[in-house]
Amino acid sequence: MYTSALPFTPTNTALYKTFHDPDEHPSILGGFQQSWSPLLQILAGHTGAVRSVAISSDGTKLASCGDDMSIRIWDAATGAEIYELRGHESWVRSVAFSPDGTRIVSSGKNSTIRVWDVTTGNLAGFNLQGHENNVKSVAYSPDGSMIVSGSGDMTVRLWDMATGAEISKLLGHQDYVQTVIFSNDGTRVISGSRDRTIRVWDCASASETSQLHGHEFSVTAVHCSPDDTHIVSGSSDMTIRV
């Protein structure tokens, strides 16, 4: 059985080079792959477009959300669906794990932000209310004590995870806020907007510390380098900028 499998093994792999003998074993000629595909799994279950995915800090679970109004939790090792979380009344745009992996925050249409218990698949007791338009992006602070959200109401908001209360509302963007993250030290928030700007905010003072200009269309993604010295951004203008 193993001998018959060797001709179908990619030709550049150690397995093929070590055990395949062209004089004794048949070979597949023409258009056969030379290396293993990087695709490990296909997770199927959503019935609409998938808008956001996240992985837990220990790498054991995945979360996804989309236009079918569901959030789904998956086992990263097997690809099996653990939970299907429902509660949003329309599409779900963003999902993020808490640093300890016990909770998930999700956001979407109708100004809703919901917090879920990963161990039970149930709501964690409160929703975060205050936005006046669709919530495009959510993220946890590195210590898990706060959540940041960005919305079509052009605001960035910070929330206390112990109480669900709004800590501050950050004003300055002139169009939809498309993406938000915390810096790795938790002292700043970075936001990207359809107004083509990236803005950096100080969490303690709730003030804007800098604006980054250069993109020609909506900023759709931002991220920090591990040492917080660089920001990378992606945009509808088809560029990635550092």
Lowest mean pLDDT among 12-21, 199-208, 219-228: 12-21
Task: Give the C-alpha separation, 18 to 69, whole Å.
Answer: 50
Percent pLDDT > 90 in the chain is 77
Whole-model pTM? 0.84
Question: Residue 231 contacts by C-beta under 8 Å, 6 or more apart in sequence?
Answer: 190, 198, 200, 212, 222, 223, 224, 225, 242
| pLDDT score for 141 | 97
CA end-to-end distance (rounded Å), the chain: 51
Give the confidence band of 180 by pLDDT, cuts at 50, 70, 90. Answer: very high
Give the confidence band of 20 by pLDDT, cuts at 50, 70, 90. Answer: confident
Mean pLDDT of 169-178: 97
Helix (H) or strand (E) holding 235: strand 231-235
CB 116 within 8 A of CB 122: yes
| pLDDT score for 115 | 95
Mean pLDDT of 211-239: 97
Q: Fold for domain 50-241?
A: Methylamine Dehydrogenase; Chain H (2.130.10)
| pLDDT score for 189 | 98
The overall average pLDDT reported for the chain is 92
Mean pLDDT of 35-54: 90
| pLDDT score for 31 | 53
Q: What is the pLDDT of residues 72-82, one digit of tens each?
A: 999 999 999 99
Lowest mean pLDDT among 38-42, 90-94, 184-188, 195-199: 38-42
Q: Which residue has the higher pLDDT, 69 or 18?
A: 69
Question: Residue 135 contacts by C-beta under 8 Å, 6 or more apart in sequence?
Answer: 93, 94, 107, 108, 111, 112, 113, 149, 150, 151, 152
Q: For residue 234, give the amino acid letter.
A: G
Phi then psi for residue 31, to 5 deg, are: 75, 15
Domain boundaries, the chain: 1-39, 50-241
Q: What is the pLDDT of residues 88-126, one digit of tens each?
A: 989 999 999 999 999 999 999 888 899 999 999 899 877
| pLDDT score for 1 | 64
How would you classify the pairing of strands 188-193 and 146-151? unpaired
- Please give the structure tokens belonging to residue 208: 């804007």
Task: Give the C-alpha separation, 112 to 123, whole Å.
Answer: 13
